[in-house]
Chain A
Amino acid sequence: MIKTTAQKIYVALIFIFLYAPIFTLMVLSFNASKTRSKWGGFTIKWYKQLFQNEEIMEALWNTLLIAFLSALIATIIGTITCLAFNYLKKSNRAILLGMANIPMLNAEIVTGISLMLLFISLGIKFGFMTILLAHITFNIPYVILSVLPRMKQLNPSTYEAALDLGCNQWQAFFKVTFPDLLPGILSGFLMAFTMSLDDFVITHFTKGPGIDTLSTKIYTEVKKGIKPEMYSLSTIIFVAVLVLLLLVNYTPKDKKNK
Chain B
Amino acid sequence: MNKKLLSAPFLFWSGLFIIVPLLMVFYYGLTDKTGAFTFENIAAISSPEHLKALWEAVKLSVLSTIICLILAYPLAMILCKSGSNKTSFMVLIFILPMWMNFLLRTFAWLTLLEKTGVINTLLKLVGLPTLNIINTPGAIVLGMVYNFLPFMVLPIYNVLIKIDKNVINAARDLGANPFQTFMKITLPLSVPGIISGITMVFVPALTTFIISTILGGSKILLIGNVIEQEFTQTGNWHLGSGLSIVLMMFIIFNMVISAVTDKDGEAQAL
Contact = CB atoms under 8 A, between A and B. Distances in A.
A102 B18 contact: yes
B165 interface: no
9 contacts: A11-B78, A18-B93, A21-B106, A36-B111, A83-B6, A113-B240, A137-B14, A201-B209, A215-B101
A116 B99 contact: no
A128 B100 CA distance: 22
A115 interface: yes
A134 B16 CA distance: 11
Interface in B247-270: 247-248, 251, 254-255, 265, 268, 270
- The B interface is mostly helix, strand or loop, or mixed, namely helix
Contact of B21 (A15, A115, A245): A115
Interface string A1-39: 000000100110011011111101100100000001100
What interface size band does chain A fall in? 35 or more
Interface of B: 1, 3-7, 9-11, 13-14, 16-22, 24-25, 28, 71, 74-75, 78-79, 81-82, 88, 91-93, 95-112, 114, 116-118, 146, 149-150, 199, 203-204, 206-210, 213-214, 224, 227-228, 231-232, 237, 240-241, 244, 247-248, 251, 254-255, 265, 268, 270
A44 interface: no
Contact of B203 (A107, A118, A215): A107
A198 B88 CA distance: 20
A237 B244 contact: no
B88 to A, nearest CB: 6
Contacts of B208: 109
Given A87-B3, A107-B204, A117 B28 contact: yes
Interface string A59-103: 000000000000000000110110111111000100011011111
Nearest to B75: A14
Contact of B111 (A28, A78, A191): A28
A205 B231 contact: yes
A117 B232 CA distance: 12
A15 B146 CA distance: 11
A219 interface: yes
